[in-house]
Amino acid sequence: MNTTDVLEAEFRDGTIRTHGPDGFEGMRAAGKLAAECLDMLTPHIVPGVLTDELDRLAREFILDNGALPACLFYRGYAKTVCISVNHVVCHGIPGERILREGDIANIDVTCIVDGWHGDHSRMYGVGPVAPRAKRLIDVTYEAIERGIAAVKPGATTGDIGHAIQTYVESMRCSVVRDFCGHGLGKVFHDAPNILHFGQKGAGEVLKPGMFFTIEPMVNLGKPAVKVLSDGWTAVTRDKSLSAQCEHSIGVTEDGAEIFTVSPAGLFKPPVETA
């Protein structure tokens, strides 16, 4: 067990926390910085860029803003962002890979501001992409919107999963089962788990002040994934394309507040088709 495990074991006891105005203030600042980090990266996501260069830009941006990159040294992870390209579902490790025209890539960043975690990801097309790749990205964004629309006090985590799954499957895509959204706040990965599939009324009842992520992973092919020998990179077993996007949100008295709103309006970066 490493240090992170010890710390998390101490804080994560399975109870679902609710937070007051100070928590909302803290999460707004953390979510905003995560969104600004991806806003900053957007013009750099072009054919020929090294994924490690994007990681360096993100790390320096977060540190320059007096915040901390949550993923750096988290359970032995050695980078600031995850960059998941084409059939990589999540947790792709930046390195010597160069982005090429036609690739689709998810970039996922989490920053810690005054102890609060802002966890956020978006999809990018690298130059023009195939029409089916753009369609997958569009389905993934619509899926997260439908999931967020299901959030209000008295609804359940299962309502969120049900909204996402029924939409994604109606579009002849599939929802990844092996990874889920999560509570967050002062803890990075906290209770409850937010499954992106499920039954109406199942799971935990949502209450004002709960904070969690919604981060559906959607595949063009089958939902099955496997993790590569690096211990992180998750890929589709059938090598079909996969897409993901993620917001950190809080349950309000009548719905949801999105903490990771892009100040530049860049949550859905424009994707061109070939």
User: What is the contact surface with Co ion in residues (CB under 5 A)?
Assistant: 108, 119, 213, 246
Other Cβ atoms within 10 Å of 50 Cβ, number: 14
Q: DSSP readout, 2-53?
A: -HHHHHHHHH--S------HHHHHHHHHHHHHHHHHHHHHGGG-STT-BHHH
Q: Which does 91 bind (CB under 5 to 8 A by kind): ligand MF3, Co ion, none?
A: ligand MF3
Place of tokens 């799954």: 165
Q: Least distance (Å) from ligand MF3 to the CB of residue 91?
A: 5
Angle in degrees, CA 120, 83, 70, rounded to 5: 50
CB of 232 to ligand MF3, least distance (A): 6
**By the rule CB under 6 A, 246 interacts with ligand MF3:** yes
Q: Which does 236 bind (CB under 5 to 8 A by kind): Co ion, ligand MF3, none?
A: none
Q: What is the amino acid identity at position 182?
A: H
Q: How many other β-carbons are positioned within 10 Å of the β-carbon of residue 230?
A: 10
How is residue 19 written in tokens? 């937070």
What is the pattern of x (binds ligand MF3, CB under 6 A) and - over residues 211-230?
----x---------------
CB of 127 to ligand MF3, least distance (A): 26
Residue 247 binds to ligand MF3 (criterion: CB under 6 A): no
What 3-state class would DSSP assign to 159?
A: helix
Instruction: Name the minimum Å distance from CB 86 to Co ion.
Output: 18
Among 19, 32, 59, 91, binds ligand MF3 (CB under 6 A): 91
| 68: alpha, beta or left? (left if phi > 0; alpha if psi -120 to 50) | beta
CB of 110 to ligand MF3, least distance (A): 5
How near is the Cβ of 239 to Co ion at its closest, in Å?
23
- By CB under 6 A, tell whether 242 contacts ligand MF3: no
Stretch near ligand MF3 under the rule CB under 6 A, chosen from 16-24, 75-83, 154-162, 247-255 = 75-83
**Contact partner at residue 82 from Co ion, ligand MF3, none, CB < 5 to 8 Å by partner kind:** ligand MF3
Stretch of 67-75, 99-107, 135-143, 154-162 contacting ligand MF3, by CB under 6 A: 67-75
Amino acid at site 213: T
The token pair at 16 is 């679902």
Confirm or reject binding of residue 71 to ligand MF3 (CB under 6 A).
yes
Residue 115 CB, shortest distance to ligand MF3, in Å, is 17
Please give the Cα distance from 236 to 209 (Å, whole number): 35
Give the separation between CA 138 and CA 142, rounded to whole angstroms. Answer: 6
Residue whose CB is less far from ligand MF3, 24 or 77: 77
Tell me how far apart the alpha carbons of residues 252 and 258 are, in angstroms, rounded to a whole number: 10
Residues 154 and 67: their CA atoms lie apart, in Å, by 34
Chain contacts with ligand MF3 (rule: CB under 6 A): 71, 74-75, 77, 82, 91, 108, 110, 119, 215, 232, 246
